[in-house]
Amino acid sequence: MIRELAYYANMTRGVYRLLRSPMRADAGILQRQMARRESCFLENAAQRVFANPRNPYYEMFRLAGCTEGDLTESVKRRGLETTLSCLAAEGVCLSHDEFKGKMPLVRAGRHIPYNPSELLNPATRGYMETVSGGSRSRGTPTRKSLEINLYRDIYDELRIREFGLHKHALVQIAPILPSSGGLRNCIGRARAGGGIERWFAVRGTLRDSGHYRVLTNALVAMCRLTGASVPRPSYLPHNDFLPVAKWIAERKRQGVPCAMRCSVSPAGRVAAAARGAGLDISGTIFFVGGEALTEARRAAIESAGCEVYPGYVISEVGVIGASCRQMKTGDCVHVFSDAVAVVGRMRSAPLSGVEVPSLMFTNLLPFASRFLINAEMDDAGVLEPATCQCEYSAVGMTTQITNIFSYGKLSGQGITLHGSDVVSILETSLPRRFGGAPGDYQLVEREAELQTELVLRVSPRVGDIPATDLHSFFLSELRRCYGGTLAARLWNHSEGFSVVREEPWATRSGKVHPLHVLGMPKYRHLADEVPTFRQERPV
Ligand SMILES: [Zn+2]
pLDDT tens, 142-166? 566 788 888 988 999 999 999 999 9
- Using 50, 70 and 90 to split pLDDT, how confident is the model at 524? very low
Q: Are strands 452-458 and 441-447 parallel, antiparallel or unpaired?
A: antiparallel
237-264: pLDDT as tens digits: 988 899 999 999 999 999 999 999 998 8
- Is the predicted pLDDT of residue 508 greater than 60, yes or no? no
Report the separation in Å between the CA atom of 306 and the middle of ligand 1, taken as the mean of its atom positions. Answer: 19
Report the separation in Å between the CA atom of 323 and the middle of ligand 1, taken as the mean of its atom positions. Answer: 7
Integer Cα distance of 317 and 233 in angstroms:
27
Please answer whether residues 386 and 398 qualify as being in contact, where contact means their C-beta atoms are separated by less than 8 angstroms. yes
- Give the DSSP letter of residue 141: P
E strand or H helix at 31: helix 27-35
Three-state secondary-structure class, residue 377 = strand
Report the separation in Å between the CA atom of 398 and the middle of ligand 1, taken as the mean of its atom positions. Answer: 8
Report the separation in Å between the CA atom of 405 and the middle of ligand 1, taken as the mean of its atom positions. Answer: 20
Instruction: Please report the pLDDT score of residue 149 as a whole number.
Output: 83
Report the separation in Å between the CA atom of 201 and the middle of ligand 1, taken as the mean of its atom positions. Answer: 31
Report the separation in Å between the CA atom of 330 and the middle of ligand 1, taken as the mean of its atom positions. Answer: 13
Report the separation in Å between the CA atom of 392 and the middle of ligand 1, taken as the mean of its atom positions. Answer: 6
Report the separation in Å between the CA atom of 327 and the middle of ligand 1, taken as the mean of its atom positions. Answer: 7
Please answer whether residues 359 and 382 qualify as being in contact, where contact means their C-beta atoms are separated by less than 8 angstroms. no
Higher pLDDT, 15 or 335: 335
Report the separation in Å between the CA atom of 526 and the middle of ligand 1, taken as the mean of its atom positions. Answer: 28
- Give the DSSP letter of residue 131: P
Report the separation in Å between the CA atom of 436 and the middle of ligand 1, taken as the mean of its atom positions. Answer: 51
Alpha carbon 523 to chain centroid, angstroms: 21
Q: Which of 274-288, 361-375, 396-410 has the lowest mean pLDDT?
A: 396-410
pTM beyond 0.85? no
- Is the predicted pLDDT of residue 365 greater than 70, yes or no? yes
Task: Provide, rounded to the nearest whole percent, the portion of the chain with pLDDT above 90.
Answer: 47
- Using 50, 70 and 90 to split pLDDT, how confident is the model at 519? low
Report the separation in Å between the CA atom of 389 and the middle of ligand 1, taken as the mean of its atom positions. Answer: 6
Q: Which of 127-136, 180-189, 431-440 has the lowest mean pLDDT?
A: 127-136
Q: Are strands 169-173 and 258-263 parallel, antiparallel or unpaired?
A: parallel
Instruction: Give the pLDDT mean for 269-275.
Output: 92
Q: What angle do CA 428, 433, 436 make, to 5 degrees?
A: 70
Higher pLDDT, 482 or 106: 106
Q: Which of 197-211, 225-239, 416-430, 503-517 has the lowest mean pLDDT?
A: 503-517
- Is the predicted pLDDT of residue 467 greater than 70, yes or no? yes
Integer Cα distance of 422 and 418 in angstroms:
7
Mean pLDDT of the chain, nearest integer:
84
Integer Cα distance of 198 and 185 in angstroms:
12
Instruction: Please report the pLDDT score of residue 529 as a whole number.
Output: 32
Positions of E strands within 435-511: 441-447, 452-458, 497-500
Nearest to 174 by CA among 151, 196, 148, 207: 196
Nearest to 45 by CA among 316, 363, 320: 363
Report the separation in Å between the CA atom of 158 and the middle of ligand 1, taken as the mean of its atom positions. Answer: 11
Please answer whether residues 92 and 111 qualify as being in contact, where contact means their C-beta atoms are separated by less than 8 angstroms. no
- Is the predicted pLDDT of residue 137 greater than 60, yes or no? no
Instruction: Give the pLDDT mean for 323-347.
Output: 94
Instruction: Please report the pLDDT score of residue 130 as a whole number.
Output: 46
Report the separation in Å between the CA atom of 393 and the middle of ligand 1, taken as the mean of its atom positions. Answer: 6
